[in-house]
């Protein structure tokens, strides 16, 4: 019943009728399983161990030849009904109400880090700053490895966005951006697979924010389990409203951009340009 709930968009009343239970029973059963799956997230959504990291590193490198990538990061919106309280905080740049999902995935589109529940008005880079992932990585958690993020993110030693296209990029910089995009796309694929398999995440009608957060985490847990069992045949979903205002993200309080690591990676790939 819970998998049906997450995979479809029927109301609780319709689901109760389908499974021949009362509406209150449907609420109770689904809530119980969602809570269980959410609490199990640390078991199924975890950072790779050293042996797995070698596999992840190689998996990303084989895509377009970028060495040292251990994850791709991005954020997406989980659309919700207009909340009764603090509705303006949940109103995103597309004038829709949402909570945010920040995810890191590996080359298999498996989530290795997840943050769910911040209000939809927050931009990707600010969401990153609020995450435990940022705190760990800022303290050297990734060592010489790094994540790939889109141009909404600041350039850091452990987080590499593409070069900003100001109309004066060299041929090698454009090639770098192409390879970067073709590798980073795994996180977009992961979100598409998640929302395609669990269509409830495309739009929640439930007004309980905590239940929505737990349901989203539960769906991500099931997504990872499906990948573990190599069940990857599904309809994908494409988001059209995840772009951000780049000008607003260039100076995030407390984040000091550092292009040194990106320049090193670039020079390893192309030599001095």
Which of 180, 170, 184, 182 has the alpha carbon at shortest distance from 271?
Answer: 170
User: In the predicted model, is pLDDT for residue 180 greater than 50?
Assistant: yes
Strand pairing class (98-105; 111-119): antiparallel
Task: Return the sign of the alpha-carbon dihedral for residues 151, 180, 195, 37.
Answer: negative
Range list of β-strands (E), 59-215:
69-79, 98-105, 111-119, 146-148, 159-160
Instruction: Kindly state the tokens that stand for 141.
Output: 């958690």
What is the predicted pLDDT for the residue at 248?
A: 47
Alpha-carbon torsion angle 233, 235, 240, 242, nearest 10: -40
Q: Rounded to 5 degrees, what angle do the CA atoms 210, 121, 221 make?
A: 40
Least confident of 16-30, 208-222, 224-238: 224-238
Compute the 3-state secondary structure of the chain and give helix, strand, coil in percent, each to the nearest 5: 50, 15, 40
Q: Assign 238 a pLDDT band (cuts: 50, 70, 90).
A: low
Q: How confident is the model at residue 231 (pLDDT cuts 50, 70, 90)?
A: confident
pLDDT at 124: 72
* Sheet with 146-148: strands ordered across: 111-119, 98-105, 69-79, 146-148, 159-160
Asked whether 70 and 147 are in contact (CB, 8 A), the reply is yes
CA angle 65-103-63, nearest 5°?
15
pLDDT band for position 241 (cuts 50, 70, 90): low
188 token code pair: 């977009």
Q: Residue range 11-26: average pLDDT?
A: 95
Residue 240 vs residues 41, 92, 118, 243, 244: alpha-carbon distances, Å? 28, 13, 20, 8, 11
More confident residue, 248 or 74: 74
Of 52, 6, 47, the closest CA to residue 223 belongs to: 6
Q: What percent of the chain has pLDDT over 70?
A: 91
Cα of first residue to Cα of last residue in the chain, in angstroms, is 57
Mean pLDDT of 94-119: 96
Q: What is the band of 126 on the pLDDT scale with cuts at 50, 70, 90?
A: confident
pLDDT of residue 205: 87
pLDDT of residue 258: 87
What letters, b where the CB count within 10 A reaches 16 and e where it falls short, cover 111-137? bbbbbbbbbbbbbbbbbbbebebbeeb
pLDDT at 130 over 80: yes
pLDDT one-digit tens code per residue, 141-172: 999 999 999 998 999 999 999 999 989 999 99
> pLDDT tens, 70-103?
999 999 999 999 999 899 999 999 999 999 999 9
Task: State yes or no: pLDDT of 33 exceeds 60.
Answer: yes
The alpha-helical segments, DSSP class H, found in 139-238 are: 171-197, 209-228
CB atoms under 10 Å from CB of 96, counted, come to: 15
pLDDT in tens, 38-69: 999 999 999 999 999 999 999 999 999 999 99
Q: What is the pLDDT of residue 123?
A: 80
Q: What is the DSSP letter of 204?
A: -
Q: What is the mean pLDDT of the chain?
A: 91
pLDDT above 90: residue 212: yes
């Amino acid at each position: 019943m819970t998998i049906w709930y997450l995979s479809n968009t029927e109301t609780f009343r319709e689901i109760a009728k389908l499974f021949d239970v009362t509406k209150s029973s449907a609420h109770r059963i689904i809530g119980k399983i969602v809570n269980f799956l959410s609490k199990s997230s640390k078991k199924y959504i975890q950072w790779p161990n050293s042996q797995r990291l070698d596999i992840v590193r190689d998996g990303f490198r084989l895509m377009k030849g970028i060495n040292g990538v251990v994850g791709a990061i991005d954020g997406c919106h989980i659309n919700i009904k207009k909340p009764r309280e603090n509705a303006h905080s949940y109103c995103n740049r597309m004038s829709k109400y949402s909570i945010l999902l920040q995810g890191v995935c590996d080359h298999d589109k498996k989530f290795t880090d997840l943050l769910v529940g911040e209000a939809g008005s927050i931009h990707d880079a600010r969401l990153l700053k609020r995450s435990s992932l940022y705190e760990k990585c800022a303290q050297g958690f990734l060592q010489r490895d790094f994540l790939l993020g889109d141009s909404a993110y600041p350039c850091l030693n452990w987080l590499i966005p593409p070069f900003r296209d100001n109309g004066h990029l060299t041929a090698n910089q454009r090639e770098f951006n192409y390879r970067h995009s073709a590798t980073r796309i795994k996180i977009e694929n992961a979100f598409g697979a998640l929302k395609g398999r669990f269509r409830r995440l495309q739009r929640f009608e439930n007004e309980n924010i905590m239940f929505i957060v737990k349901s989203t985490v539960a769906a991500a847990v099931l997504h990872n389990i499906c990948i573990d069992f190599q069940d990857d045949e599904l309809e994908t979903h494409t988001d059209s409203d995840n772009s951000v205002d780049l000008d607003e993200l260039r100076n995030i309080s407390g984040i000091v951009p550092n292009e040194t690591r990106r320049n090193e990676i670039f020079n390893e790939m192309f030599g001095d340009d």
